[in-house]
Amino acid sequence: MCGIVGLFLKDPKLEPKLGAMLADMLITMTDRGPDSAGIAIYSGARDGIGKITVQSADPGRDFRNLDADLHDAIGQPVLMLEKSTHAVLEVPIGQLEAARTAISHLRPAIKIMSVGDSIEIFKEVGLPKDVAARFAVSKMKGTHGIGHTRMATESAVTTMGAHPFSTGSDQCLVHNGSLSNHNAVRRELRRHGMTFETENDTEVAAAFISHKLSEGQSLGSAMEATLTDLDGFFTFVVGTRNGFGVVRDPIACKPAVMAETDAYVAFGSEYRALVNLPGIEEARVWEPEPATVYFWER
């Protein structure tokens, strides 16, 4: 099954509550997938600051003095915020690639969750309520965010197999469904220089969209291309620095409900996920059409 939730705020007054609203929505979807859970949050860009979210199976070892070591490596100030098995490293925006390379040398066991000027991704094996508590999701602020709770089908239950997947700067994707041609698409994307962390089908969908965006396509046309090039069942929710998109395959057997008010656009695998949102009684609530791309940008 899997459960997806997403929230794209139009009203800045709700931004301090983004994490709390998303966590509540995600916990409601627990029985759609208890294997692992994750959240991507766009906390808003700050002038000149880039962020790398990293994960370690042994944070006590890997995160100790990581900020100082990274500072020495790139010769620039580094701020580290540790959250359980994850840490967010803030570096000057121009140093993101250098920092990423340095991290892979300094701490080879560390996994990169996301890179960008706004995105942070936190994901782990376990129930949504435990994952949300571990990373204090309900305290997070931001402009938009996506959450996922996984019932694994295509690959193993691991931290790296959890969603969201991020394969490009400030980009992420979550998926309900399964893809059947992901091996062929992965080979094709590798030829174009994309790299992969897992054997997971969803990571291929994320990389597919990242590749289209890197070719200069818009979010809308990149999502449109999933309908012709990806085979299988999918409801995708996609995040970019300033955008939020939804697309379902033409068969559309994976459920999806959307709600829109003047204050937000919300996505849920089920209506249950949306019932605590402010003004939901007056919201326009609809089921996204099959093979139709929906996206919003700020």
Partner 1 sequence: MQTFDLGSEGLRALNAALHALKGQTNMTSWEVVNPRGAHAIAAGVDAPVDITVRGSTGYYCAGMNKLATIRVKGSVGPGVAENMMSGTVIIDGDASQYAGATGRGGLLVIKGNASSRCGISMKGIDIVVHGSIGHMSAFMAQSGNLVVLGDAGEALGDSLYEARIFVRGKVKSLGADCIEKEMRDEHFAALEELLRRGEADAKARPEEFRRYGSARKLYNFNIDNASAY
Residues designated catalytic: 2
Report the site for partner 1 in 110-139 (rule: CB under 8 A). Answer: none
Least distance to partner 1 from the beta carbon of 38, Å? 23
Per the structure block, which two tokens stand in for 284?
A: 């326009």
* Polymer length in residues for the chain: 298
Q: Report if residue 277 touches partner 1, rule: CB under 8 A.
A: no
The residues near 251 (Cβ < 8 Å, ≥ 6 apart) are: 233, 290
- Residues 230-259: x where in contact with partner 1 by CB under 8 A, - otherwise, as a string: --------------------xxxx-x-x--
What does the DSSP assignment read for 279-296? Answer: TGGGSEEEPPPTT--EEE
CB nearer to partner 1: give 33 or 59. Answer: 33
CB nearer to partner 1: give 26 or 115. Answer: 26
Q: What's the alpha-carbon Rg for the chain, to the nearest Å? A: 18
CB nearer to partner 1: give 141 or 272. Answer: 272
What does the DSSP assignment read for 104-171? Answer: HHH-TT-EEEEEESSEEEEEEES-HHHHHHHTTGGG---SEEEEEEE--SSS--STTTSSPB--STT-
Least distance to partner 1 from the beta carbon of 23, Å? 18
CB nearer to partner 1: give 57 or 253. Answer: 253
Which residue among 10, 83, 134, 272 contacts partner 1 (CB under 8 A)? 272
Contacts with partner 1 by CB under 8 A: the residue count is 17
Q: Report if residue 274 touches partner 1, rule: CB under 8 A.
A: yes
Least distance to partner 1 from the beta carbon of 220, Å? 22
Q: Report if residue 271 touches partner 1, rule: CB under 8 A.
A: yes
Q: How far apart are CA 262 and CA 224, in angstroms?
A: 26
Instruction: Tell me the window of 51-59, 163-171, 229-237, 283-291 that interacts with partner 1 (CB under 8 A).
Output: 283-291
Sign of the CA dihedral with 194 first, then 143, 274, and 159 last: positive
Report the site for partner 1 in 45-74 (rule: CB under 8 A). Answer: none
Q: Report if residue 279 touches partner 1, rule: CB under 8 A.
A: no
Provide the 8-state DSSP code for 269. Answer: S
Four-point Cα dihedral 17, 235, 30, 275, nearest 10: 50
Rounded to 5 degrees, φ, ψ at 235 are -120, 120
Instruction: Give the angle 194-196-197 at the CA atoms, nearest 5°.
Output: 155
Which residue among 84, 141, 275, 278 contacts partner 1 (CB under 8 A)? 275
Least distance to partner 1 from the beta carbon of 273, Å? 8
Q: How far apart are CA 100 and CA 12, in angstroms?
A: 31
CB nearer to partner 1: give 214 or 292. Answer: 292
Q: Report if residue 1 touches partner 1, rule: CB under 8 A.
A: no
Q: Are 135 and 84 in contact, with CB atoms under 8 Å apart?
A: yes
Site for partner 1, rule CB under 8 A = 250-253, 255, 257, 270-275, 285-287, 289-290
